[in-house]
């Protein structure tokens, strides 16, 4: 699996911001109340980000050779997929939260300070979820293989030729 490219995150943030700006404008122009995210949304997104990083710690230990235990490959796959989903979702929600803050601050009628604070908290929680997802995704990445003869990873007992696809009996044969 490849790492999440920054351009994708930027495009999702712009998309989330644009859609939310449109929704807020449509609600305000029709005389309805605009969407103000609760402060608990930002706190919940932050806690989800912390949990994802904690879930990635065992995978990081095993992939770096720190722990001698094995990790379940299904668990590692789930963690890396959850990390990728968190970074993408954090980008969308972060863009939407920043858009709400911008919308509230750009109106001629001053919004209540509590509304701006709740929106800023939600945007910050979403951006922290984005960062936590990227950190967890990085923690689940395997280190690059070094296939030069004589270099082994911890626990690898194969010779350099075996790691390159040959067998011990075919050394020197091209």
Residue 63 has pLDDT above 50, yes or no: yes
Quick: pLDDT tens for 123-170.
999 999 999 999 999 998 877 665 555 555 555 555 555 555 555 554
Q: Identify the pLDDT of residue 70.
A: 78
- Calculate mean pLDDT across residues 19-44: 94
Q: Extract the tokens encoding 70.
A: 């094995």
Closest CA to 161 of 174, 149, 146, 153: 149
Quick: pLDDT tens for 68-125.
767 888 999 999 999 999 999 999 999 999 999 999 999 888 788 889 999 999 999 9
Residue 26 or residue 146, greater confidence? 26
Burial of 5 (0-12, 13-18, 19+ CB in 10 A): exposed
Q: Identify the pLDDT of residue 73.
A: 86
Closest CA to 73 of 86, 63, 84: 63
Q: Identify the pLDDT of residue 109.
A: 82
Residue 120 CA, chain-centre distance (Å), reads 20
pTM as predicted? 0.78
Quick: pLDDT tens for 34-59.
999 999 999 999 999 999 999 999 98
Dist. CA 125–CA 142, nearest whole Å? 28
């Amino acid at each position: 699996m490849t790492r999440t490219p920054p351009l994708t995150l930027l495009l999702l943030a712009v998309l989330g911001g644009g859609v939310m700006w449109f929704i807020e404008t449509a609600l305000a122009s029709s005389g309805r109340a605009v969407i103000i995210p609760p402060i608990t949304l930002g706190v919940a997104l932050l806690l989800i980000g912390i949990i994802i990083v904690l879930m990635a710690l065992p995978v990081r230990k095993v992939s770096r050779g720190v722990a001698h235990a094995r990790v379940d490959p299904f668990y590692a796959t789930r963690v890396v997929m959850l990390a990728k989903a968190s970074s993408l979702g954090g980008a969308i929600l972060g863009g939407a939260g920043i858009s709400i803050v911008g919308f509230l601050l750009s109106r001629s009628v001053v919004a209540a300070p509590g509304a701006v604070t709740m929106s800023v908290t939600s945007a910050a929680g979403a951006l922290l979820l984005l960062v936590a997802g990227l950190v967890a995704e990085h923690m689940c990445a395997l280190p690059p293989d070094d296939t030069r003869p004589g270099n082994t990873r911890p626990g690898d007992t194969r010779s350099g030729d075996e790691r390159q696809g040959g067998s011990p009996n075919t050394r020197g044969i091209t």
